[in-house]
Amino acid sequence: MALFVQNAKCGKNREGGFTILEVMIALTIFAIVAISITLAIASSARSSEHAQDWTAAYKATQKVMEEVMSLEYSEIPLQDGVTFQVLSTTRPVTGTIVVEDIGPTWGGPAGSAYQVTITIDDAATDIQSSLTTVRSAY
């Protein structure tokens, strides 16, 4: 009983609710957390899309390299900088084949070994994928 009388004398009459300041602080914290989560999800989606595009470009590069490596040594396109269209992708993608005679560098005669570099350029996504291998006549 003495506690009730003391509160009545102080003029405090609290019925157990939240003040407007407490509600505003809680809403501000909630908004900051919600915005942070939304930004993280959006960033993750962009990263995933970029990874899928890069993987598609790399697979296209591998496919072209496999086709070139399946050719007989004498059939490899030896002209440097051949440009080609990649047909195995969903959008137009171009590529280049760069061939360098490395036979003398390796101590053999000219034309005995070639370094073949295949580069795929996807202009829509600004992704470039490249593979290099060495092909020897021996």
For the CA atoms of 33, 37, 42, 45, the dihedral, rounded to the nearest 10 degrees, stands at: 170
- Confidence at 2, pLDDT banded by 50, 70, 90: very low
pLDDT tens digits for 15-57?
678 899 999 999 999 999 999 999 999 999 999 988 888 887 8
Q: For all residues of the chain together, what is the average pLDDT?
A: 79
For 115-119, which contacts have Cβ atoms below 8 Å and span 24 or more sequence positions? 116/65, 116/68, 116/69, 116/76, 118/61, 118/64, 118/65, 118/68, 119/61, 119/95
Residue 3 is predicted with a pLDDT of: 45
Whether 127 shows a pLDDT value over 80: the answer reads yes
pTM (whole model) above 0.85: no
Lowest mean pLDDT among 17-31, 33-47, 61-75, 111-125: 61-75
Number of independent structural domains in the chain? 1
Identify the domain containing residue 122 by its residue range.
Answer: 2-136
- Strand order of the sheet with strand 93-101? 82-86, 93-101, 113-122, 127-136
